[in-house]
Amino acid sequence: QVQLVESGGGLVQAGGSLRLSCAASGGTLSTYAVGWVRQAPGKEREFVAAIRWSAGTTYYADYVKGRFTISRDNAKNTVDLQMNNLKLEDTAVYYCAARAWYVSYNTADYNIWGQGTQVTVSS
């Protein structure tokens, strides 16, 4: 069973950038879709971005499109999320999540989760 571990969170000023990384162990991600999901205090988890590993196809929520970029590294078995022009409303715990083959915008469809990493954007 694949396990996921996130890294790269932290505190950043509005307008700044952070890069999150999701490292997989226990297997290859080649048959998975890997996504980033976030949860702000008092809110539901929401889809941020995802990539279908086999095809490299990427998907984004409208509220991050043009600011966030998801990418994969085949050699390292990692998925990164480059976050630029961060806004206060991007503050949340960011989770890496995976499911077999196909991307879903429904966070409940993902069955493998990392522990999460905190991203805090300050004014």
| Nearest-angstrom CA–CA distance, 25 and 16 | 30
DSSP state of 7: E
Measure the CA–CA gap between 86 and 16, rounded to whole angstroms.
Answer: 6
pLDDT in tens, 8-18: 999 999 999 99
Q: What is the pLDDT of residues 34-57, one digit of tens each?
A: 999 999 999 999 999 999 999 999
Q: How confident is the model at residue 19 (pLDDT cuts 50, 70, 90)?
A: very high
Total length of the chain: 123
- The structure tokens 């539901």 sit at 44
Distances (CA, A) of 65 to 40, 59, 61, 83: 18, 9, 6, 10
